[in-house]
């Protein structure tokens, strides 16, 4: 009787271990992506613009794994290497959790220098991707 109980317990333990090890999928921990929109009217790389010039930066952030939805998207700006100021802070809605796209209509300031725009996306796992564009204003 004792042997039968030990066998049944061992069989249950083995079955549970097999079930748990086969049903748990490891997350690859791949961070989301950010791409800049290219084409007429868009700034998509570092460049030069005149003072008081309107320009547009388009961004698309995408999740890289099936269940790692995008959660937040933050845009900051800094002048001449100074402190960053947040110009947009988005909690990404469920409808855009797989792919988030937004255009930013901006204008250079009225003095020479550099303007750095930094775009940061965070996914469900807390993985972060950051990309920047530096505009030299003259």
What CATH code is carried by the domain that includes residue 78?
Answer: 2.60.40.3880
Render pLDDT for 77-101 as a digit per residue (tens, 0 to 9): 999 999 999 999 999 999 999 999 9
pLDDT value at position 111?
96
Tokens matching residue 8? 């049944």
pTM: 0.80
Tokens matching residue 32? 């989301």
* 16 inside domain: no
Which structural domain range is residue 62 located in? 29-137
Residue written as token pair 């290219």: 38
Domain count, the chain: 1
pLDDT value at position 16?
54
* 69 inside domain: yes
Those residues of the chain that have pLDDT short of 70 are 1-25
């Amino acid at each position: 009787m004792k042997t039968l109980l030990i066998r049944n317990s061992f069989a249950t333990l083995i079955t549970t271990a097999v079930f748990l090890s086969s049903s748990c999928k490891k997350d690859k921990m791949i961070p989301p992506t950010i791409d800049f929109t290219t084409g007429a009217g868009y700034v998509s790389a570092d460049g030069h613009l005149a003072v008081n010039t309107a320009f547009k930066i388009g961004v698309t952030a995408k999740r890289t794994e099936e269940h790692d939805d995008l959660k937040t998207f933050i845009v900051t700006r800094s002048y001449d290497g100074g402190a960053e100021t947040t110009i947009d802070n988005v909690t990404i809605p469920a409808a855009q959790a797989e792919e988030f796209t937004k255009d930013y209509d901006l204008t250079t300031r009225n003095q020479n220098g550099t303007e750095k725009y930094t775009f940061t996306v965070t996914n469900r796992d807390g993985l972060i991707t950051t990309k920047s564009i530096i505009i030299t204003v003259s």
